[in-house]
Structures are given as structure tokens and as C-alpha cells.
Structure 1
Amino acid sequence: MGEWFRHDIVDGGRLRLFCFLTAFVCAFLFIRFSVRMIRRQVSWWPGNVTPGGHHIHHVVFGLVFMCVGGIGGLVVPGPDTFAAGLLAALFGVGTALVLDEFALVLHLSDVYWSEQGRLSVQVVFIAVALSGLALLGLRPLGLADLDGAGGVLQVWSIALTLLLNLAFATVTLLKGKVWTGLLGLFVGVFSIVGAIRLARPASPWARWRYRPGTRRGDRKLARAAARERRWRAPVQRFTTALGDAVAGRPTPPAPVSGEDPSTPPDRP
């Protein structure tokens, strides 16, 4: 284990990324544990930071940590020094605090424990996955090939390959396949398959290309909806359950006037 860490992480120039990812995961798990304890109002856990009765969200602390870690990382020389690793870890802590309240910043409203708040957990999972791929040595769009590029013809062929990979990944993302498109930035076969296959029914690509009222559009929409029910729905249920287990279940919406409060609300 020590030999792998020295050879692949330290000698491979990925020490700062390792420190960033480790601190990011630990900070996210800690802050989610903290807010769940506060939500349960346990007596032995400190509450929210409320100087003068004003609740300061942890995204504020995250921004401060990101500024200190990011600017400090630009100033400190040497990517493999203790200071560089420490600042990268501080940047990871700040990034975790910011992304944990990503939905709150996006909506400019406290949606932390609502259904919209699930977006924060999804963004964190994506950040962990992409950082993990980079830690394994994968570089987006095959940029590693540029390091060994020699002649003009080779440079142009690599540039064309990068553009094609980016185009396939963009089409995949427009088709509503976020995970496939992002993974395709690192492993091109994912974006190629995602770009060829049908779009998700509610994606921008489906709205532009699968026009309802036309024979071709209705047929593709029907196929996309059937595929969504068969393949996407079970995956969505699994990822939702995983997110709830890690980050906590959102608060159910208040019952509408005249609705039986004992009836559990529908969940997407």
C-alpha cells in the first residue's frame, strides 16, 4: 500500500488531488452527520452557528476555506510539499461545504431538506466520481495524449479526436444522460454510446428532436418513455435510497388543505 501511494500518488504528481479528495469526502460526511444531529435536536451536539440570531449557512465557511486553500495553493511552490497538500485538503473541505448547499445557492432559498435539496447530494456524488477518476490517472477528453504529441500531423489528429470526444459528450449531456456524459469525458466509449442511443423523454434533445404530433417524434418519445420506466426508474430508486442513507431523507411536503395528513405524499 505504501509503495503504491509513493509510486502512483506522490511520484505521479497527484498528492494534492489525493489530499483534496480525502478531505472532501470526510468533510461532506461530517457536515451531513452534523446537520442530521441538529435536525434531530440531540442535546449533546452543538447547534447551528447563529450569532445575533442570524443563521450562517456552512456554504459561507466553505467559500472562505476555498479562497484560503485556492489562493494559498497558487502561492506555495512545489506540488509535493506538506504545505501544498494541506492547502489542497483545505480547498477540499471548502468545496464539500459549498456543494453540500449547492441547491440552496441555486434556488436562493433554504431548500436543504426539501426534494430540491437532493440536487446537492447528486452534485457531490458527481464531484467524488470525477475526482476519483482523475486520481486514478485518467484525464478528460484524452488530454494526456497532448503530452507526447510530436509532429504537426499528430497534433492535428489529437486535436480532432479531442473535439470529437467533446462533441459526443455534449450530445450525451443534452440527451439528459448526465452520468454517462461526464464519464464519457474520461472514457470516450461512454459518450459515444450515450450519443447514439435515445434521449431521455424530458431532456433538451427530446424537446428539440422528438416533436410530438409527428409519427417519428411520437414513436421515439414512446420508446424513450418505455426505456425510462424499464431501466432508469430502478436506477433512480437505488440512487435516491443511497442518497437518503448517506445524507438524510428530505422532509415530506405539508399536506394540501383538505388532504388527509395521514396519507403519505407521492414521491417522484
Structure 2
Amino acid sequence: MSLAVAATDRPALLWALVAFLGAFGGARLVTRMIRAGRGPFRNVSTGGLHVHHAVPGVVLMTIGGFGAVAAGDDGWPAIVCAVIFGVGAGLVLDEFALILHLADVYWTDEGRRSVEVVALTAAVVGLVLAGYLPLGVENLSEEQLRNGWAVTGTVLFHFVCALFALLKGKPWLAVVGVLIPFVALVGAVRLARPTSPWARRRYRGRRARAMTRARRRAERHDHRWNPTLRRISDLLGGTPDEQDPSPGSVGVAGGTARGGGE
């Protein structure tokens, strides 16, 4: 199924994705202007409390989500609710790192996680719009779809592969592998990342050599790809502040004093 046809079949999802990307892009533009001291925008504070844009994002997601359930699948009400939800999701995931760390890490290296999550979310929604169905079901024939065991086995196989890839510290392969068959299988059978739950639990004792190999492979991979990925992240989300070398520091004022999220 082509992207154009799939998008026409799912107009609400298409508009939600457009609103999601627009909200993320708008939030990053505003926060970068605040950080640079340009334009009319300033951090929003009330009673000395810095209000991050994830707060109105949660409100919009709630309104859009419940509104979409009430509106059903067809018509303009569903599209309006999808846009509201997409805007809210864009604002919330733009500050995903802050929620994850429970600290204002917007302009630190930890804050790059928000850009990664937004990119991953957009990729997954784009695949769904392109007509991909989860867990390999779209690759089954009509006869196989009528066979309950074939469907169940296919779903379980891809789910287990995605789960193993996630445990091995490969979230991109896990999530994309839910939609594209055998992508998660690659992450499931290869060595785990050395910091993953799988490596910490399994690469000990007699398997200590596996940890050494995992570290060497991770170093080679990071040396090759991290500079490029950082440049892309900086282009999309802005360059993080230089880390404060003092112990326990997470960056220059955690980004609060320099526009760490409106």
C-alpha cells in the first residue's frame, strides 16, 4: 500500500502526525529563541514556578484523547481531536528527557533523548501510515489469516524478537521491528549493548568474554555513528550546554535560566 493511499485511509492519523511534528518544531524554535535572548518569547512562570510546555501538552493530550474516543473514527470531529492530541504529544515528548530524569535536563546531553524519542515516534507513525501492520501480520496470506495458529505464532514470534531486542538495549530495532518483520530479529540475535539489562545479567562469570566483545563492538559503533547522530540531534533540537565538571551537575542551570523549555 502506498503512503498516499494509506494516508487517505487514515486522515486523522495523518493530521495527528503533522500536528505532532509541527508542535515539536515550534517548541524547539521558541525555546532556542528564548535561550538566545531573541524575539518576544520568555519562560512562563507563575508564583516563581517555571511552567514547562509539557504541562499544556498533557492537557491537550487528555482533551484530544478523550475527544477522539467520543468522536469515533469519521468526520471532522475526529480530525480536530487528532490535531489536538498531536500538538499535545509533540509538546510532551519534546520534554521527554525532563520527565524521564525528573530534572531540567533540556539543554544537556541527557536532553538529546527527547529528540530521539520524537524521531522514533514519527518513524513508527509514518510506517503505520505507509500501511505496515504490527507484528508481521501484513505478510500473511488470506489462508494464513484464516488460520488462528498461524496468526498467533507470527505475532508471538515478532513480539518475542522485539522484547529481546529491547532487553539488549536496542530500542530502535525493537520498535521498528514491531512493524517491519525480522528487523527486531537482528537485534535479538546479536550481542547486547554493554549497558543493557541483558548484558548486565547474562554477560558475567563464564560469559565475561561476551561483555568484552560487547564493549568493543559498542565502542566501534559509537565511534562511527555518534558524531553523525549528534550533528543531526543538534540540528533538530539545538546544541546542548557544556557540562559543568563539578560533581552532581547536569548542565548550566539545567536549562532553566536559559530557556530550558517554555
- Helix, strand or coil for the counterpart of 1:188? coil
**Residue 180 of structure 2 is aligned with which of 177, 187, 209?**
187
Amino acid at match of 2:6: D
Report if aligned partners of 2:57, 2:88 keep a CA contact under 8 Å in 1: yes
Structure 2 distance, partners of 1:155, 1:200, is 36
- Partner of residue 11, structure 2: 15
**Residue 68 of structure 2 is aligned with which of 57, 67, 73?**
73
Report if aligned partners of 1:19, 1:89 keep a CA contact under 8 Å in 2: yes
> Residues 161 and 127 from structure 1, CA distance in 2 versus in 1: closer, same or farther, beyond 3 angstroms?
same
Question: 1:142-161, aligned counterparts within 5 Å?
Answer: 142-144=136-138, 154-161=147-154
- Normalized against structure 1, the TM-score is what? 0.84
- Partner of residue 57, structure 1: 52
CA-to-partner distance for each residue in 1:182-237, whole Å, 9 max, x for gaps? 1111112111121111111111111122115x3xx232222222221222332222
Amino acid at match of 1:46: F
Report if aligned partners of 2:61, 2:84 keep a CA contact under 8 Å in 1: yes
Structure 2 distance, partners of 1:194, 1:150, is 26
Report if aligned partners of 2:108, 2:242 keep a CA contact under 8 Å in 1: yes
**Residue 21 of structure 2 is aligned with which of 25, 29, 32?**
25
- Normalized against structure 2, the TM-score is what? 0.86
Structure 1 distance, partners of 2:243, 2:145, is 62
> Residues 75 and 149 from structure 1, CA distance in 2 versus in 1: closer, same or farther, beyond 3 angstroms?
farther
- Post-superposition offset of 1:145: 6.9
Report if aligned partners of 2:15, 2:83 keep a CA contact under 8 Å in 1: yes
- Partner of residue 249, structure 1: 239
More displaced 10-residue stretch of structure 1: 201-210 or 138-147: 138-147
- Please say if 1:209 is aligned against 2:207: no
Amino acid at match of 1:185: V
Report if aligned partners of 1:72, 1:87 keep a CA contact under 8 Å in 2: yes
> Residues 54 and 141 from structure 1, CA distance in 2 versus in 1: closer, same or farther, beyond 3 angstroms?
same
Report if aligned partners of 1:165, 1:191 keep a CA contact under 8 Å in 2: yes
- Post-superposition offset of 1:244: 1.1
- Partner of residue 198, structure 1: 191
Report if aligned partners of 1:145, 1:158 keep a CA contact under 8 Å in 2: no
- Post-superposition offset of 1:115: 2.0
- Relative contact order: is structure 1 or structure 2 higher (C-alpha 8 Å, sep ≥ 6)? 2
- Please say if 1:228 is aligned against 2:224: no
Gaps of 5+ in 2: 248-262
- Helix, strand or coil for the counterpart of 2:131? coil
- Please say if 1:90 is aligned against 2:84: yes
Structure 2 distance, partners of 1:164, 1:56, is 44
- Partner of residue 263, structure 1: none
Structure 2 distance, partners of 1:61, 1:174, is 33
- Partner of residue 262, structure 1: none
Greater Rg, structure 1 or structure 2?
1
Gaps of 5+ in 1: 258-268
What is the count of residue pairs matched by the alignment? 246
